[in-house]
Amino acid sequence: MSMTSSGLDPALAERLKRDSYGLFPAVVQQFDTGRVLMVGWMDDEALHRTLTTGRATYWSRSRREYWVKGDTSGHVQWVRSVALDCDGDTVLVQVDQVGPACHTGSSSCFDGRELPSAFGSPAGVTPPPGAAGTDQDPRSASIARTGDSDDDR
């Protein structure tokens, strides 16, 4: 089997759908709980490194360089599995996360960042007290902008 210039298997490379910069999102999930930890960006080389080293590797859009999660912080992501979604435009990376995943120190980049939203449920199901969207009109809620970091180390 021949390899692409990145070293990625050509059959896999052909299945990937990338944006205009050659990137695709990587949804990162704790392997044993299913908790979503973060979303990073990869290109073919970052995916190849992830698949062959067992360490999650991403492309930093702001610094324009590769980074291996945990090389600076010590908060390593040990890869357990990688899957390509049905459209070929996103990968799911299941990891064993060491320490917090977020550069803010939170265990997940989504901790404390819930947006007000309506509570969807089948007919006859009452939303729990305090469920999102039950106490206020979501259009009137103010949304705090959080940092735009795509690449803690």
Q: Binding residue per annotation — 86?
A: yes
Whether the CB-CB separation of 29 and 73 falls below 8 Å is answered with no
Q: Binding residue per annotation — 44?
A: no
Q: Binding residue per annotation — 150?
A: no
Whether the CB-CB separation of 99 and 73 falls below 8 Å is answered with yes
Instruction: Measure Cα distances from 66 to 31, 63, 122, 140, 151 in Å.
Output: 23, 9, 44, 40, 9
Q: Binding residue per annotation — 109?
A: yes
Cα 33 versus chain centre, distance: 15
Q: Binding residue per annotation — 102?
A: yes
Q: Binding residue per annotation — 137?
A: no
Question: Residues annotated in the binding site for Mg(2+), as ranges?
Answer: 85, 87, 89
Q: Please give the annotated binding residues for Zn(2+), written as ranges.
A: 86, 102, 109
Show binding-site residues: 85-87, 89, 102, 109
